[in-house]
Amino acid sequence: MLALLIVIAAVVAFRGAGRWLTREDPLTHADVIFVLSGSMPYRAEEAAKVFALGYAPEVWLSRPDSPASELQKLGIHFVGEEEYNRDILIRKGVPDAAIHLLQDTVVNTEEEVEDAGREMQRAGKHKVILVTSPQHTRRVKVIWRKLTGDNPKAMVHAAHEDPIDLDHWWWNTRDIFSVVREMLGLVNAWRDFRCRHIRSEYRGRSARASRPRPHLHQIL
């Protein structure tokens, strides 16, 4: 009987993992809407909706690390994700003057949170709405709390048009990868980020290149 109960509990936990990862906050007025990188165009589109509802007067974008400088040496023009996100926001009605692009390049959520928190403190901002994918919301809350605390205060909001199937996440490899990555990322955050990202060759020459990096690899 005990074994059967354990199996049932395991099945329930497995099936509910996708929904468990989703943890949103009620929205109130904020100083900034911050779009975390990834899942184009859904996160930027959701940020535009939140902006249109009047929850914040500015939308900030992170600058994901890219091979732009290396490709430029080869005569190849590269447009980064941040530029597409800017175009999406403008197409959805956000004025260009209300869009702010952070300067530092980032390679993961941890660095995005650090940059956003630091820039908000520098600019005297006190409250932010973080827009990300549904399965990413719980991890974003944990990371923000660990790295930034309550100053500035953050509300996490999901991009509801993101195509992930949270109730049947094991049905396709894309959703499986998303859920497993989030689970591993949460474990890493709970363990105080002991597993860190190692930048590739072109990333090593980015704005953060001078920072010491631990000798562990991370795909989170």
What digits encode the pLDDT tens for the residues 1-16?
A: 767 677 677 777 888 9
CATH class of the 23-163 domain in this structure: alpha beta
The answer, yes or no, to whether residue 70 has pLDDT greater than 90, is no
199-213 per-position pLDDT tens digit: 554 444 444 544 444
Q: Which residue has the tokens 């197409």?
A: 91
Rounded CA-CA distance 212/201 in Å is: 15
Tokens of 4: 């059967």
Rounded CA-CA distance 34/31 in Å is: 10
Q: What's the pTM value of the predicted model, to 2 decimals?
A: 0.86
Tokens of 91: 């197409």
Q: Which residue has the tokens 């600019």?
A: 123
